[in-house]
Structures are given as C-alpha cells and as structure tokens.
Amino acid sequence: MKYIIESFSQVYGNNPTRPDKENQSDELKKIYKDKVGNLSKADLEAAHLEHHSHFFRKWQRRRWLTLILVNVLFLVSYKYDVQLLEGAMTASRFVGFHMADLNSALQVMLAYKHVVLNLVIGTTTVFIMWLLLGGRTFCSWVCPYHLLSEWAEFLHLWLVKKKIIKNHTFHRKTRSVFYVIFALLALLSGYTVFETISPTGIVSRAIIYGPGVALLWVGALLLFEVFYSRRAWCRYVCPIGVTYAAVGTLSPIRIVYNAEACHHEGDCRKACLVPHVLDLTIRGRAHTLDQDVIADCTRCGMCVDICPTDSLNFKIKGLDKFL
Amino acid sequence: MSDSNKTVTKKNEPAKKKTVLSLKKRQSQRREFLRSSLLTVGFVSLSLAGLLPVVQGRSARLRPPGALKTPLDEQKFFAACIKCGQCVQVCPVNAIKLADLDEGVGIGVPYIDAREQACDFSCDGLQCVLACPTGALTHDLDYPADTRMGFARMDNPKTCLAARGQGFKGQVRGPDFKGLLRYDEIDRWAPIPVADHPYDLELCDLCVRQCPIEIRISQCAAQEKERAAAIEAGKLTGKIERVAEQFGNECPPKHAIELQVIESDDGLKRMLPVILDGCVGCGVCEMICPVEDSPSIVVDIDKITNWA
C-alpha cells in the first residue's frame, strides 16, 4: 500500500518522501555509517572498469530489439498480410485478440461517452498485460517515440557536455496538469484532442501506413528535446506515461535497489528518464536495505546496465517465494 | 474556508520555506514555473488548433461504410475512432486512407478518395465495419446496400459521354491509373487494376455498368432465375423461404443509377445517367467516369437520401 501511495505521489509530481532517520533500520544506518571515508575514487574506478569489461548495456540491447521487433511486427503484419499484429499502437488485434492502448481507449471513452464491448475487451487485455509486465514498460519497451527520443537524448547530452546548450527543466507537476487538461478536453469538446499531437500514435501510424505531414510535428518535438529540454515530452507532457504508471503501481515487475554495495555516485540518476525515482540511491535516502523503485519507473534497465556495483536489479515481486 | 484561516496557513508555510531557500534557488524555481506554464499553454493551444478544421467545417469528407455520422456532423465518428487503421488493413481495394495532421483532430481517421480509389464492396461483407474495434464504423449494417456514405450527382452533363451520345474504347483513366475494381466475370475474389480491363462500348454507360448496387441487382436476378428453374425441375422444394430469409431485404437492393432518355435543348433525345434512391455513395461512378480532368459524375456527402 505504501508503495502505491508513494508511486501516485511521485507520478503526480511530488518529491520522493525522505526517510525518517528513526525509522531506518539499524542495518541500513550501519551500512551508511561504514561507508564514510571508505568509498575511495580508486575503488569506484576499479568497479567501473570491471563493470564495463563485461556485458555492458545488456538491457538496452534487449529493449531496443523488443521495441523494434514489435513495431516491425505491426508493419510486416500489414505489408505482407501476416495478420499477427494488425492495427497500430493505439488499437490492434494480436492473432485476432483485441488490444487497445489504455490512454487512447480512455480518450475515446471520454469523447464518445459510450463504451463498445470490443473496446472493453481490448482495454482489459492490455490492462492485464501491462499489469503483469510493469506498466510503464510500455513506454521504454514498445513506444516508438521513446526510441527516437532516446537517440535525440544522446545528441542533447553530447551538446550539453560540449557546453553548447543548457538543459531546461520543467516542473514535474506539469504532466499531471496536462493529464487533467487532456481528459477534460476530450470530455468537453467531444474530440480526442490529445491524439492530434500524440507522437506515439503519429510515429506508429507513419511506420505502418507511410509517412505524412504529421512527422514534421514529431521532428519539431525532437528538436525541442535536443536543444532545449531533455526528454521533455516523456517527462513533462505525455499522459500515456501517467496512465501506464497507474497500472504499474500494481505490477510485480520492478527495479529493486540494494543500498549495501552502492557508491552513491549517481551514474544511474544521470542515465534515468525519470531520475526522481532513483533519489533513494542518494546516501541516506533509502527507507530500507532493499527498496523497490516506484511505478513512475519505465523499467528500461538503464540504471541496471550502468550501475558498477550491481545495486540495482530487475525483480519479480513474489517470485522469490516460489523459488 | 474563511479568510482568516487562509491567511494563517499562508503565513505559516511559505514563511518557513522562504528562510530555507536561497534567492538563487527561488529565482530558478520561479523561472521553472514560468517555463512550465508556457509549455502547458503552448502544447494545449497546439492541440486545440486541431479543432480548427472541424470548426471551419472543412473536415467532412467521404468516409468508409457505416461511419458514425450524419452527412456533415462527424463529431461522433471522430470521437469513437481510435485512429488505428484496422479498416485500412482489411480493405481488398485499399480504398481507405488515414487523414494527416492537416485534418487536425481528424488525424488518423479513415476517409475515401473516390476518384483515386472508390469502395466497390469487393469484400461483400463490409470488412472495415467488422474490423473496427470501437464501433466508429457502426456494426448496425449488414449489407453494402445498408450503407449511406454519400449520394452521387451528375455534376457536369455537358461533358458526360452518354449525354453526348458517345461511346468509350480503351483503358478508363489511362494506362497509369492505379485504381482497382472487382470484375465478377474475371475473379470474384481478386480485384484487378481498371487499367488491365479495357472497354469497348458503343454508348458509354460505365457509371451504370460498374455500379456495385446495379451489379448486385443483376446477381439477384440471376439467382432468382436459377432458383425458379430449380423449383421447376423439382430440385428445390421447401427451401424457398430459407433463401428469401438469407437475403432479407438486401436482394435485390433498390436501383441506384440508370440511363434515362432525356430530351435535350436541341430537340434530340439523349441518354443521361440518373441517380436513384438506392445510391449508397460508394464513389465507383466517380472513379470510373472516363472524362478526364474532372469527372461528370461526383459523390456528394451532404445529400444522403432518407429512403429507409
């Protein structure tokens, strides 16, 4: 329950709650205390070297492959009439089973104000699927805009490093404001206003049905992210992420943080799309020795890849009980 | 909440914060707030600009069969459509396209450009309607003749070959035209390019000849004949009702178009295509009209007859 409340609080835009010093376990306190003066730069560098030497960016490779495969499957299903995954990211049929993107379905229901059975079936299927797979897993493992945005991010980070540009942040609550506004707009105008500017739908349809003028908008968004604000769409605007984050609060697939070997040097937070979820890796900020990263996390695995001390890992909640 | 209460809480909380935050931090926070407000206003305005084509009334166009709309009010259709293009994928003649960003909130909503590729009901079963996951193409219809996409109109009788007493020979719309049609006599299940099917007509009657509704009527007549023959031969007994049930009101549908004798100004009698109540607005006549530049016959979306 605490996990769900904390997840919603952070998705809404609040800062992560800081642990109460008195409630932190003695074990955790001891670990933090023992690290004082014991974390040398040499140790960290050695850990980095050791880490880079084997299997670096394992999760990124798996994720990109999955994302590309899913989107290619859409294309191939149509172009070569394979009929495995028909439709687009907003709604589709997987070997005949209805699937509907939760946010698109929500927008349609709010605008249309009727609910068709097929849409209920599609929404339920997709809800259960992402419930099992981690909610915002959709964002980093399937959403085609995410990949484009990730590449734009590399460019952005390089420009920042060269001191050519500066990153501008927005308030994280902006995304919640957008969420409410887009829901209200659909409800009041009777049109799915958000879909007009949603790069997820636009890119997905462009891949499957061919490019159009709408890609110019996606290009403009990417330029905005490269030159002005890192990952602005995913971080501060996209309501799809909020919808899936809500699903993710109940999901067993999570990233778990263990404070023991952590050097608190912050590589993970620098790599993360939603760095507030990793504030618990700051020294003294973990509540417990092993703590789950909250549901705004996209389960992209960048932090798992980058952590030199193996302090962040994927886990399936409840699975350890079976094993 | 009373005013006194408000002032109390206001006094307590921000006062505490102000002492904690440095001037620089407060400034950067204020800038972030401003930026965030601008971002919100900007992106919401952009998305609202998507409503312009609807407000200006230039978004209405020919939609796939069963679209949830009255002739010019497409609000429900736009709202219900989830913009996935499953209707596009099942169409055997690729008649359905998805609108682009210039259509605003209509982006990703299916439409038909009849002159380029009309819906000729090659699928028979209204596959697009069956594929639609949200009922934006309403499942209320069962047969092509149930649909009301638009209504054909003789736009320019002066250029109409039939009205001028002319025939037509060769490839309709030229060798490069990509449009497809189903020709029953060639292959019922595989539509072919119109360019691969040259005509040689003494009097051009393409719009009548290729009208899917008229084709259906002649099919019904043929079936009726066959059945009558079967009954006469004693091969079909007691099954007559079943056949009638199977086709319901659909076979034969009402006539959609026919060539009628018209007396023109110069006193000569001419044949002219006349559109009848049964027209469903599929657009095949507009596609097949061989008059170059602009077809003599077009499909209007704002005049749908209420004959049901």
Q: Are residues B100 and A192, on separate chains, in Cβ contact within 8 Å?
A: no
Task: Tell me the chain A residues in contact with residue B90 when contact means C-beta distances shorter than 8 Å.
Answer: 86
From CA B17, how far away is CA B9, in angstroms rounded?
Answer: 13
DSSP code of A253? E
From CA B126, how far away is CA B251, in angstroms rounded?
Answer: 16
Query: What are the residues whose beta carbons fall under 8 Å from the beta carbon of A247, sequence distance 6 or more?
Result: A102, A127, A130, A131, A135
The mean per-residue pLDDT over the stretch A58-71 comes to 95
From CA B224, how far away is CA B205, in angstroms rounded?
Answer: 25
Asked if B98 is an interface residue toward chain A (Cβ–Cβ < 8 A), one would say yes
Q: Which of A83, A90, A114, A231 to mutate to test the interface with B (most CBs of B within 10 A)?
A: A90
Q: What does the pLDDT read at residue A77?
A: 94
From CA A131, how far away is CA A243, in angstroms rounded?
Answer: 12
Task: Tell me the chain B residues in contact with residue A92 when contact means C-beta distances shorter than 8 Å.
Answer: 84, 86
Higher pLDDT, B165 or A68: A68
**Which of B82, B100, B105 minimises the CB distance to A105?**
B82
Asked if B130 is an interface residue toward chain A (Cβ–Cβ < 8 A), one would say no
**What percentage of chain A reaches a pLDDT higher than 70?**
99
From CA A72, how far away is CA A74, in angstroms rounded?
Answer: 5
DSSP code of A274? S
Alpha-carbon torsion angle B16, B17, B19, B21, nearest 10: 170
Model confidence at B147: pLDDT above 60: yes
The mean per-residue pLDDT over the stretch A240-253 comes to 96
**Whole-number mean pLDDT of chain A?**
92
Q: Which two tokens stand for residue B261?
A: 């004798």
**Which of B39, B133, B134 minimises the CB distance to A174?**
B39
Task: Tell me the chain B residues in contact with residue A100 when contact means C-beta distances shorter than 8 Å.
Answer: 82, 133-134
Model confidence at B306: pLDDT above 60: no
Amino acid at A252: P
Asked if B39 is an interface residue toward chain A (Cβ–Cβ < 8 A), one would say yes
Q: What does the pLDDT read at residue A37?
A: 75
Asked which of A236-245, B13-22, B258-267 is least confident by mean pLDDT, the reply is B13-22
User: pLDDT (tens digit, 9 = 90+) per residue, A274-295?
Assistant: 999 999 999 889 999 999 999 9
Query: What are the residues whose beta carbons fall under 8 Å from the beta carbon of A111, sequence distance 6 or more?
Result: A186, A187, A189, A190, A191, A192, B78, B79, B80
Model confidence at A117: pLDDT above 50: yes
Query: Are A188 and A111 a contacting pair, CB within 8 Å?
Result: no
CB pairs under 8 A between A and B: 154
The mean per-residue pLDDT over the stretch A122-135 comes to 95
Q: What does the pLDDT read at residue B247?
A: 47
The mean per-residue pLDDT over the stretch A106-114 comes to 94
Q: Are residues A212 and B100, on separate chains, in Cβ contact within 8 Å?
A: yes
DSSP code of A19? P
Distance between B41 CA and the closest CA of chain A, angstroms: 10
Query: Are B254 and B277 a contacting pair, CB within 8 Å?
Result: yes
Q: Please, where are the H alpha helices in B57-185?
A: 75-80, 86-90, 127-131
Q: Residue B189: which pLDDT band, with cuts at 50, 70 and 90?
A: confident
Model confidence at B234: pLDDT above 80: no
List the Cα angle A308/A310/A314 in 5-degree steps.
130
Q: Are residues B32 and A169, on separate chains, in Cβ contact within 8 Å?
A: yes
DSSP for A117-131, please give it.
Answer: HHHHHHHHHHHHHHH
Model confidence at A84: pLDDT above 50: yes
Integer CA distances (angstroms), B12 to A251, B6, B7, B21, in order:
40, 10, 9, 15
DSSP for B128-141, please give it.
Answer: HHHH-SSSSB-TT-
From CA B246, how far away is CA A26, in angstroms rounded?
Answer: 79
DSSP code of B203? S
Integer CA distances (angstroms), A156 to A139, A218, A222, in order:
20, 16, 10
Query: Are B190 and B206 a contacting pair, CB within 8 Å?
Result: no
Q: Which two tokens stand for residue A143?
A: 């959403």
Number of residues written out for chain B: 308
Q: Residue A55: which pLDDT band, with cuts at 50, 70 and 90?
A: low
Q: What does the pLDDT read at residue B10?
A: 45
**Which of A182, A192, A208 minimises the CB distance to B105?**
A192
Q: What does the pLDDT read at residue B3?
A: 44
Chain B segment 241-270 residues within 8 A of A by beta carbon are none
Q: What share of chain A is helix, strand, coil (3-state, %, to 5)?
A: 60, 10, 35
Q: What does the pLDDT read at residue A54?
A: 63
